[in-house]
Amino acid sequence: MLPLLSALAIFAAAPPETLVVPLHEIVVIGRRAPEPALTIPAAVSLVSRAQFEATRNISLRDALGAVPGVFVQSRSGAQDVRITIRGFGARGNGERSNAGSMRGIRVLTDGVPLTEPDGRTSLDLADLATVDRIEIARSNASALYGNASGGIVNLRTHLAFDDPFAEYSQRGGSFGFHREQGAAGFALGQGRGVFALANTTFDGWRPHSESSGTIAKLRFTTPVDEKTKLGILLDGVSNLNRFPGPLTQAQLDSAPQQPNPTFVTRNERRRNRVGRAAVTLDRAFSEVQDLSLLIFAEPKVLQRSERNRFRDFTRYHLGGNAAWSMMKKTESGFAFRTRVGVDDAFQDGAILFYDLGPGGVRGTTVIANKREAASSAGGFIQEEVTIHDRWSVRGAARYDNLWYIAHDYGDPTLNATKHFTRVTPTGSISWRGGSHTVYAALGGGVEAPAFNEIDPPPFLSPTALNPFLDAMYSTTYELGARGEKSLSETLGSLRYDAAVYLIDVRNDIVPFNGGAYFFTAGQSRRNGVELGLDWSPMVSFSIGGTANFSDNVYLDYMNDLGNFKDHQIAGLPKSFGTAHARWSQYGLSAELGVDAVGTYFVDDANTAKAKSATLLNGSIGWRGNFGDSSVRLFVAGQNLTDQTYVASVFINGINGQFFEAGLPRNGSAGLTVSFR
């Protein structure tokens, strides 16, 4: 049993009223359906900035580590993280997927997708600069969002401020970490905008784990007329990450700081330079009818040393969507709402593979010259009936057409295309009473193989794409409840979020020949329980935590290495959770927290395990207001008991090399000065 439910906690990081986002707040996940969080008949979580303000802000691990159902791992303590939501995303942790991208989960910033058409997501632009809150959908959302939507993470910027402001933040800490960030909120007429520039450097604990990045972000929104709003988004980022590589269990036990010698010799690293521009237009035709439009463009220059090759990618990612909604109310207490949407995304570009020169530099021999393109087009319709603002029944369906194009300009020249089409339904029923919602939902999911999984088997006639692959389909059954309740004057208030789910997956993607190629030949089942609690017995003090328990089993799985039927799915712990206690008064704040992860298998054969770990973390802070300015300070410590633990894994690692060691005891401190 995890110790999180019995952990003592005595500190807090921010005033209690800002620690938990009230359940009546509006959620705008991907611009699909703005509505109060309490009314959504699915597992939805909100994370406010106050919850990750007293952290390094180096990655999404700092913000998502205490969300029910969300398992987040930091590879080497820097920007690269792996996110798994109810098992979706775990497949991206294999040897062929360790270049800093994940899959199966859709990530957006201010409604603009970072996820590529084939379902992979690089997190270079998912920086916490300017992020005011994060909206997370933990249920499979493929019926609205399409391919690779086992969960949704949307990072949002606050633009509804009254007065312009300027803010500077400085953070520093162990192992050469420092982060400088400046932000300014400005007004142009009735328009509001935020510009931010951030630079992050981390020398790393393990040799060859350095990380650095610089990002610039601009958000601006302005009314065009009384019913129309225009939005502009501009981003640019340059990141460099070096990878220390996985260790065997013996290496982890004897010297967890050591790097993998092969990774050092090949100087395995990733250098990404990405830009992005997007325009949004929202039009309210009346109080009951509205339309939203989005277009975006994202050029990329991606370079990495990986698996004894220097890989050079030049890509552009283009897309857009439109969503229309209309509501009709009757005098008898019925309300009908229709939502219709279409979207399309296209990514194309050249790929050059070179040999590696000394020190991992790009060699002079071109080994592969390819083109990879993918298009993801789809449309959805959702109908909702609400009865007396109590009962709600929803149904939705989406059609997806995923189109892959591959050209290999080698000898022989190979051209191939492949389509994945699917209609995905979903339905739900919910009841709302005061500040409580209970719901039941049945939903479908679709996830196509990523481009690096569709290489053909060597025994086929020359072709550019694997003809045996199909999309992975899933069906999710879910029951849940969430709400808040005032207990009494002496007991304070309680917020809760609980869900039980069962997910059946067909056409699971099965690796052959150590992941050299794949087939969609497996089936699996995931059962789970998620619980989040936050109890505030008094205004200045709160206690809470999350608990997650699941059983994730292959029902059918056979490849060249054996039959793994009834084996646990690698990379998914049966239990994990958090506990915290927070106190805040007179401008002072403090927090003590526990992160706990149970054991889990790291290979399909279930012969190797990552050991359980329980980490103790804490922080103290102070905030002072001086007229129109304010100062915030914090000091934080992670892994205070200095435990050796597994921070991340390479699933089905080669030669028993599975484990990436987590940071030992480490600290950070920060200063933020704001002016209005």
Q: Could you tell me the CATH number of the domain that includes residue 276?
A: 2.40.170.20
Identify the pLDDT of residue 647: 94
pLDDT at 474 over 50: yes
> What average pLDDT does this structure show over 363-384?
95
Mean pLDDT lowest for which of 106-110, 259-263, 468-472?
Answer: 468-472
Residue 648 has pLDDT above 70, yes or no: yes
Would you say residue 450 lies in a domain? Answer: yes
Confidence (pLDDT) at 372 = 92
Q: Which domain holds residue 134?
A: 3-10+19-169+195-251+261-320+328-675
Nearest to 183 by CA among 153, 216, 225: 216
Structure tokens at 99: 């270049």
For residue 1, what is the DSSP state?
A: -
Higher pLDDT, 460 or 400: 400
Q: What is the mean pLDDT of residues 205-216?
A: 96
In a domain, 587, yes or no: yes
Task: Dump pLDDT digits (tens) for 167-202.
Answer: 999 999 999 999 999 999 999 999 999 999 999 999
pLDDT band at 11 (very low <50, low <70, confident <90, very high): very low
Across the range 544-553, mean pLDDT stands at 97
Q: Are the C-beta atoms of 66 and 578 separated by less than 8 Å?
A: yes
pLDDT above 50: residue 309: yes
Residue 185 domain-assigned (yes or no): no
**Res. 97 pLDDT band, cuts 50 70 90:** low
Helix (H) or strand (E) holding 165: strand 165-173
pLDDT digits (tens, 9 = 90+) for 493-540: 999 999 999 999 999 888 887 777 888 888 999 999 999 999 999 989
Residue 568, pLDDT score:
96
The whole-number pLDDT of residue 100 equals 57
Domain membership of residue 182 (yes or no) is: no
CA distances from 177 to 58, 79, 237, 265, 269 (A): 9, 11, 19, 25, 19
Task: State how far the alpha carbon of 617 is from the alpha carbons of 62, 76, 257, in Å.
Answer: 12, 17, 21
Give the per-residue pLDDT at 75. 85
> Could you please report the per-residue DSSP string of 224-276?
EETTEEEEEEEEEEEEEEE----B-HHHHHH-TTPPPHHHHHTT-EEEEEEEE
Percent of the chain with pLDDT over 70: 93
Domain total in the chain: 1
What is the arithmetic mean of pLDDT over 343-371?
94
Computed over every residue of the chain, the mean pLDDT equals: 90
Question: What pLDDT, on a 0 to 100 scale, did the predictor assign at position 608?
Answer: 96
Do strands 414-433 and 436-447 pair parallel, antiparallel, or not at all (unpaired)? antiparallel
| Strand ranges, E, within 600-645 | 600-601, 609-610, 613-626, 629-638
- b/e sequence 579-589, b meaning 16+ C-beta within 10 Å: bbbbbbeeeeb
Tell me whether residue 183 is in a domain: no
Tell me the pLDDT band of 6, cut-offs 50, 70 and 90: very low
| Nearest Cα to Cα of residue 120 among 157, 156, 74, 83 | 83
| pLDDT tens sequence across 394-411 | 999 999 999 999 999 887
Confidence (pTM): 0.93
| 181 domain residue, yes or no | no
Tokens at 371, concatenated: 């083109």
In a domain, 188, yes or no: no
Please tell me the predicted confidence (pLDDT) of residue 23.
Answer: 45
Indicate the range of 12-16, 414-418, 517-521, 579-583 predicted with least confidence: 12-16
Cα(603)–Cα(571) distance, integer angstroms = 8
Assigned domain for 190 exists: no
Minimal CA–CA distance to 441: which of 387, 370, 499? 499
Number of H-type helices and E-type strands within the chain: 5, 39
pLDDT digits (tens, 9 = 90+) for 556-576: 998 888 999 999 999 999 999
Check whether 271 has a pLDDT greater than 90: yes
pLDDT exceeds cutoff 50 at 480: yes
